[in-house]
């Protein structure tokens, strides 16, 4: 038996040693190693080719989980978001955000919060996908009085031709992304010296230098080609090069982690890390990489949505960053304008106004003017500001209460005409000919609409209500007069939303749903089941003649957070929220912020498609807005059992959706695909028709840190339900 066993083993070993078996084993081992490297995020594999006429993007995958903040507040956050790689670093006073693009037209970009400046380095499109990553971690760079960052970049290509270089403020980088005219900027000088390629120019405004240097590594070289183009040539089919960007920085002071949030904040390490990256004692930044400056609306909405979990010092400083930028008439500044962008805009007649400490401020937005009073009213009612805050001095002179009083007077003055006439022409309109007005960016985000529902139907009445509530705090002597006037004007403004009402018969609505679903290649059966009756809803906006823009929208969430809708209005809003798109706003991967299906105008279907910045796409912070709004309405004591159960059902469904999209909720927005009967998340900005990129870190999207869940535990199984586009 022993000999027989030995003979069997010998035959087995002999069989294993045959060339066929060895090759099979080698192939199996190779694929196991590939799978292991892919699972670890170490394999540079690009996105698959689109499988339909719609451009489908790669999966949103983690490259590395965010590391816990150190006691000093150091951050290195890394995330792959479709074709975009992101490295956000902060260490002491140094901070930067490097982003790469991996596709047939690769790109490297960096932006710096302290200078609100950076560079974009784009390469000529090739015939194959090129994977680009930042190796290791971007580091601080210094030279004399200039500073910035440096990093080593890897590219899976043998050659790449430099196609486009942009140096300047983040606003200049955004302008190039939007194909705006930058011809008035000073020309760059380009030099190739001792194997180092450098670009340099001075600011149009004040001569601030911007410098970008590229040095090849690992045996690579730089060749100068035709028409002044430079080609990077790698070694062994790979490119490695070092980039260094320098300019003048203005120090910003980060909060230490323990000074940012109260213990009751949600324990989401990703959100906490990204909020910390955007939070400075001087101001909260709107988002990264695209909005590394103050934004009034975003600051105020963040304070309203997550003020309860911020420390009083953070609340006070953020609110004061708004107050010091108020215009003399009490208007809220939308955005800080850097000196060079301001100088460039002087050439086309758009003049920003000086506002604080030599800054230029943009007052073209309308909605933020009506967010200040409701936000302060909430913070004072909830005792979320430091004691004596109203009487604290402002850097611009006077007290906090004086600035708030100026805004209250603006609210009263700007709403007086409509309060007298009740005529649609006296509602608050966007600034003529500018793409600015509310969070949807006005004329662009409203497809020509100029009178916003959110501003007129919700925020202006809310501001009047809060001015009445704050009157005795702001000006005890004139309080009776201010309160009486605000309440008198409010009576008219509480009916302003009626101007936006759209009615469609059942047959017309079903026809629109079927036609729109077919146009975007979605199944019709479920939406048609939801479109079982006539449709009544508030239009997104009105045109200059007062005609409704027949587009359904998510802005009814503002009414839940800032208003007191009737039972019928609450039920209607919830029905439109939960009805499957395009009968409503609901999809498995997010709430659509716009739904143009009710409109019979073809241009509206195009304006609000899945490639539009505020079209039929999902914005993370709008989920937070609805979650907070539903919670606020459920605090009411006057709701019927039926209405309460309706809101509770919507709340449960919404939080399941929030759980499904948990890994994306720190980002700004995303689009979608629909294949094999399922929705998939498509990172916004990587389709050729999308002119903007989604911020991987978005201030308003961190608001989930401050929103209470209706139940103690998240839905553990929900994360498996969402899919990401292939």
Taking only Cα atoms into account, the Rg of the chain, rounded to an integer number of angstroms, comes to: 28
**Phi, psi (deg, nearest 5) at residue 205:** -85, -50
pLDDT at residue 536, rounded to an integer: 98
- ∠ CA 379-381-382, rounded to 5°: 65
Backbone angles phi, psi at 602, to 5 degrees: -55, -35
The pLDDT of residue 690: 84
Find the DSSP H helices in 269-328.
269-278, 296-306, 312-323
Residue 326 three-state SS: coil
Q: Which of 667, 657, 677, 659 is nearest to 577 (CA)?
A: 657
Beta strands 669-675 and 618-619: pairing type?
antiparallel
CB half-sphere exposure, 705, CA atoms < 13 A:
31
Q: How far is CA 351 from its chain centroid?
A: 26
Q: What pLDDT, on a 0 to 100 scale, did the predictor assign at position 726?
A: 26
∠ Cα 427 433 437 (to 5°): 50
Query: 114, 117, 120: which is closest to 101 by C-alpha?
Result: 120
CA angle centred on 609, ends 607 and 611, rounded to 5°? 100
Residues in the chain: 726
Half-sphere exposure of 499 (CA within 13 A, CB side): 28
List b or e across 185-200, with b for residues whose CB sees 16 or more CB atoms inside 10 angstroms: beebebeeeeeebbbe
Q: Given the DSSP bridges, would you call strands 501-504 and 535-538 parallel, antiparallel or unpaired? A: antiparallel
With 0-12 / 13-18 / 19 or more C-beta atoms within 10 angstroms meaning exposed / middle / buried, residue 74 is: middle
In the chain, what percentage of residues exceed pLDDT 70?
Answer: 86
The pLDDT value given to residue 149: 98
Angle between helical axes of 620-633 and 296-306 (0-180°, round to 10):
40
Residue 475 φ/ψ, nearest 5 degrees: -150, 85
| Beta pairing class for 360-362 and 335-337 | antiparallel
Please tell me whether residue 101 adopts helix, strand or coil conformation.
strand
Rounded CA separation 514/527 (Å): 8
Tell me how many degrees the CA angle 288-289-294 measures, rounded to the nearest 5: 60
Global pTM value:
0.88
- CB atoms under 10 Å from CB of 678, counted, come to 13
Q: How confident is the model at residue 433, as a pLDDT?
A: 64
Q: Which residues of the chain are under the pLDDT cut of 70?
A: 1-73, 346-352, 433-435, 442-443, 712-726
Distance between CA atoms of 265 and 19, rounded to whole angstroms? 61
Q: Which two tokens stand for residue 578?
A: 């939960």
Q: Is 394 exposed, middle or buried (0-12, 13-18, 19+ CB in 10 A)?
A: middle
d(CA 5, CA 49): 54
Extract the tokens encoding 677: 């009967």
Q: How far apart are CA 284 and CA 315, in angstroms?
A: 10
Biggest CA pair distance of the chain: 111
Report how far residue 443's alpha carbon sits from residue 433's, in angstroms, rounded to the nearest whole number: 8
382 bridge partner residues = none
| Helix axis angle, 479-493 to 460-474, nearest 10° | 170
260 burial class (0-12, 13-18, 19+ CB within 10 angstroms)?
Answer: buried
Tokens of 634: 């459920």
As a whole number of angstroms, the distance between CA 626 and CA 629 comes to: 5
Handedness of CA 171, 177, 178, 181 (dihedral sign): positive
What are the residues whose beta carbons fall under 8 Å from the beta carbon of 242, sequence distance 6 or more? Answer: 150, 151, 152, 153, 213, 214, 215, 217
CB atoms within 10 A of CB 233: 15
Closest CA to 639 of 559, 562, 570, 536: 570
CA atoms within 13 A on the CB side of 640: 8
Which one-letter DSSP state was computed for residue 279?
Answer: B
For 723, other C-beta atoms within 10 Å of its C-beta total 17
561/627 Cα distance (integer angstroms): 9
The helix/strand/coil state of 359 is coil
């Amino acid at each position: 038996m022993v000999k027989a066993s030995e003979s069997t083993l010998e035959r087995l070993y002999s069989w294993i040693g045959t060339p066929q078996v060895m090759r099979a084993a080698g192939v199996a081992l190779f694929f196991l190693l590939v799978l292991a490297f892919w699972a670890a995020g170490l394999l540079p594999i690009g996105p698959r080719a689109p499988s339909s006429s719609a451009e489908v993007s790669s999966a949103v995958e983690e490259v590395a989980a965010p590391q816990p903040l150190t006691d000093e507040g150091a951050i290195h956050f890394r995330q792959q978001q479709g074709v975009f790689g992101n490295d956000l670093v902060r260490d002491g006073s140094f901070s930067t955000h490097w982003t790469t693009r991996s596709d047939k037209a690769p790109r490297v970009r960096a932006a710096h919060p302290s200078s609100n400046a950076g560079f974009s380095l784009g390469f000529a499109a090739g015939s194959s996908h090129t994977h680009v990553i930042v190796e290791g971690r971007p580091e601080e760079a210094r030279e004399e009085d200039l500073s910035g960052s440096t990093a080593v970049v890897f590219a899976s290509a043998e050659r790449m031709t430099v196609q486009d270089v942009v140096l300047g403020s983040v606003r200049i980088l955004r302008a190039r992304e939007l194909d705006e005219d930058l011809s008035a900027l000073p020309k760059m000088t380009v030099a190739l010296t001792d194997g180092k390629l450098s670009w340099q120019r001075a600011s149009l405004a004040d001569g601030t230098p911007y410098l970008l240097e590229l040095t090849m590594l690992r045996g690579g070289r730089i060749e100068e080609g035709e028409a002044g183009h430079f080609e990077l040539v790698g070694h062994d089919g790979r490119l490695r090069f070092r980039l260094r960007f320098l300019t003048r920085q203005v120090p910003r002071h980060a909060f230490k982690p323990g000074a940012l949030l109260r213990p009751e904040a949600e324990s989401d390490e990703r959100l906490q890390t990204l909020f910390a990256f955007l939070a400075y004692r001087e101001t909260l930044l709107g988002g990264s990489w695209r909005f590394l400056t103050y934004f009034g609306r975003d600051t105020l909405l963040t304070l309203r949505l997550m003020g309860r979990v911020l420390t009083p010092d953070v609340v006070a400083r953020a609110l004061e960053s708004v107050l010091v930028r108020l215009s003399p008439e009490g208007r809220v500044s939308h955005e800080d304008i850097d000196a060079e962008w301001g100088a460039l805009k002087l050439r086309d007649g758009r003049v920003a106004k000086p506002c604080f400490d030599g800054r230029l401020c943009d007052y073209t937005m309308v909605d933020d003017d009506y967010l200040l009073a409701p936000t302060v009213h909430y913070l004072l009612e909830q005792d979320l500001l430091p004691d004596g805050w109203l009487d604290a001095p402002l850097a611009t002179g006077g007290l906090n209460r004086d600035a708030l009083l100026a805004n209250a007077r603006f609210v009263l003055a700007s709403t007086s005409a409509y309060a007298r006439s009740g005529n649609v022409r006296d509602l608050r309109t966007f600034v003529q000919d500018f793409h600015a007005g509310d969070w949807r960016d006005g004329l662009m985000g409203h497809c020509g609409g100029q009178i916003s529902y959110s501003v007129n139907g919700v925020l202006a009445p809310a501001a009047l209500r809060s001015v009445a509530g704050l009157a005795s705090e702001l000006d005890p002597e004139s309080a009776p007069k201010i309160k009486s006037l605000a309440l008198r004007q409010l009576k008219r403004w509480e009916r302003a939303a009626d101007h936006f009402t759209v009615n469609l018969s059942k047959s017309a609505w079903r026809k629109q749903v079927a036609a729109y679903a077919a146009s975007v290649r979605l199944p019709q059966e479920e939406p048609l089941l939801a479109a079982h009756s006539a449709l009544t809803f508030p239009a997104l906006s009105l045109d200059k003649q007062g005609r409704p823009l027949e587009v359904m929208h998510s802005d009814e969430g503002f009414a839940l957070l800032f208003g007191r809708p009737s039972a019928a209005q609450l039920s209607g809003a919830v029905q439109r929220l939960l009805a499957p798109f395009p009968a409503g706003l609901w999809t498995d991967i997010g709430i659509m912020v716009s739904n143009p299906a009710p409109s019979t105008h073809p241009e509206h279907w195009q304006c609000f498609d899945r490639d539009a910045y505020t079209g039929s796409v999902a914005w993370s912070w709008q989920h937070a807005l609805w979650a907070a709004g539903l919670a606020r309405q459920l605090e009411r004591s006057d709701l019927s059992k039926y209405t309460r159960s309706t809101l509770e059902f919507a709340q449960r469904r919404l939080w399941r959706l929030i759980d499904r999209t948990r890994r994306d909720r720190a980002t700004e927005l995303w689009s979608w695909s629909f294949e094999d009967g399922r929705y998939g998340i498509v990172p916004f900005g990587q389709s050729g028709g999308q002119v903007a990129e989604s911020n991987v870190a978005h201030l308003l999207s961190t608001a989930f840190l401050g929103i209470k869940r209706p139940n103690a535990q998240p839905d553990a199984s929900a994360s498996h339900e969402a899919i990401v586009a292939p």
